[in-house]
Amino acid sequence: MREYTVIDTLKDTLKRAEKIVFLTGAGISQESGIGTFRGNDGLWEKYDPMKLASAQAFRDDPRLVWRWYNDRRRKIMAVKPNPGHMAIASLQSHRQVWVLTQNIDGLHHGAGSREVIELHGNIFATKCTTCDFKGKIRDEFPDRPPSCKICGSNLRPDVVWFGEGIKREVWNQAIIHSMSCDAMIIVGASLAVSPANTLPLYAKNIKATLIEVNPENTPLSNEMDFSIRKTAVDALPKILSIFESLN
């Protein structure tokens, strides 16, 4: 019953919202079957993912890190976008929608979202460790890092590793959209990872409505206008139906 009270209040707020920005994290892909970094992961149980996902680890043992990414690529290829991703994509028929995601799995694109900014890159993209070459890897995953066609150095996943910064042009775009939305909906992000956790504050500064979809509290829960303590698959189709009922 209580849930419907929240939905009704949300309805009044969202009526006037023209541009909606979603900020998504690992939690939205959890119900597609992709674990967060902290989950136990069979083969890789004895390794610390925080250490594998770093430039230092790749320098120390490029093959090990590359194989770990191959495993993650295979897992991602075996799963599908879930009704949470799909609801965000469907909202495009009703509102201007931008997705800022910390995820590297490409599931928002898979669901049909057109305006997606991948803050941390994409697991199927590669870049040279030395020159500017960029590539893609999709169909076959060699068990060692491929060599750059231009300079012969190792290619690495084109993702933002621990200790690295978000690309400047990507970050600028994220700020521009956060500062021009009417509502920001934050889904499955622990908001513990800087600087992505500052984006809701840019939105709050321009008085956008802040909505969080997360079964757990986050460090920014107190800043939210609405905290929906549900999973993405549970809450997002309901939020979509609010917009559908407004048209």
Token digits for 28? 């939205």
- Judged by CB under 6 A, the residue of 70, 103, 154, 178 near ligand NAD is 103
Asked if 79 interacts with ligand NAD (CB under 6 A), we say no
- Our CA dihedral for 76, 119, 209, 243, rounded to 10 degrees, sits at -40
Q: Which does 90 bind (CB under 5 to 8 A by kind): ligand NAD, Zn ion, none?
A: none
Q: State in angstroms the smallest separation of the CB of 7 from ligand NAD.
A: 17
Contact between 82 and ligand NAD by CB under 6 A: the answer reads no
Residue among 67, 87, 99, 102 that touches ligand NAD (CB under 6 A): 102
CB 97 → ligand NAD: shortest distance, Å? 18
Residue 52 contacts ligand NAD per CB under 6 A:
no
Q: Which of 67, 73, 108, 120 binds ligand NAD (CB under 6 A)?
A: 120
Q: Which does 133 bind (CB under 5 to 8 A by kind): ligand NAD, Zn ion, none?
A: Zn ion
- Residue 194's Cβ-count burial label (10 Å; 0-12, 13-18, 19+) is exposed
Q: Tell me the angle at which helices 2-14 and 232-246 cross, rounded to the nearest 10 degrees.
A: 50
Least distance from ligand NAD to the Cβ atom of residue 41, Å: 10
- Which of 96, 153 has the CB closer to Zn ion? 153
Q: Catalytic annotation on 120?
A: yes
Identify the residue among 31, 41, 223, 225 touching ligand NAD (CB under 6 A): 31
Applying CB under 5 A, does 133 fall inside the site for Zn ion?
Answer: yes
HSE-up (13 A, CA, CB side) for residue 133: 17
By rule CB under 6 A, what string of x and - marks binding of each residue 195-234 to ligand NAD? ------------------xxxx-x------------xx--
Q: What is the dihedral of CA 14, 20, 24, 29, to 10 degrees?
A: 80
Cis bond leading into 195, ω under 30°?
yes
Which positions touch ligand NAD (CB under 6 A)? 25-27, 29-31, 34, 36-37, 102-105, 120, 187-190, 192-193, 213-216, 218, 231-232
Which positions touch Zn ion (CB under 5 A)? 128, 130-131, 133, 148, 150-151, 153
